[in-house]
Amino acid sequence: MTTYIAEFEGDHKAVLQSMFASGNAITSWRVKIAGFIQYLAMGFIAPIGLLGLAMFFFRDFVRDNTLLVSLVAFAIGWGIASLTRLIYAELAKSCASSPFGAHQRVEISENGFVLRSRNSHWQTGWADISAVLETKRALCVVASGVALYVPKAELDDPTQTFSDMQRWHKASVFA
């Protein structure tokens, strides 16, 4: 039986990529559309509101510097919209440096995905996994909305590992 084993320290960049990939994999199209609308609202509607306020309070300045004020308003709006990514990045750093995420050992086999930290032991069979994903830096499985990852750098052959993970998952889903 093929078993892949990786032991690693928390990698906040791999956590972040796994968070985004798993969120995309398990959310419905309605939630994705709502998120896109929210992002557009923060990026476009908020700046238009800022322009309206600026015109109300600083009419002469805005009239003389329309392009500058417009660019500043839209930069502020997109900055506010980008705060979501910053929040996720901080969450990923927190996860990777927590007692649970700071040091992990993962075993991947046809029996499932086993994750051990210094104080915990998680084991899940492939039938309980809702998605097997690959990001630029990691392979991950999603179980009950939780993304469990393995940095690719810690695997001898990430391509083969991912292929086997997909095969085992598919076999369990259609069993």
How far is Cα 33 from Cα 24, in angstroms, rounded to an integer? 11
29 band by pLDDT with thresholds 50, 70 and 90: confident
pLDDT at 86 over 80: yes
- Domain 3-24+100-173, architecture per CATH: Roll (2.30)
Q: What percent of the chain has pLDDT over 70?
A: 99
Rounded mean pLDDT of 107-132?
94
pLDDT tens, 100-112? 999 999 999 999 9
Residue 175: is its pLDDT beyond 80? no
Q: Is 61 left (phi over 0), alpha (psi -120 to 50) or beta?
A: alpha
CA distance 45 to 51: 10
What are the structural domain ranges in the chain?
3-24+100-173, 27-96
Q: Is the pLDDT of residue 144 over 80?
A: yes
DSSP-derived letter for residue 118 is S
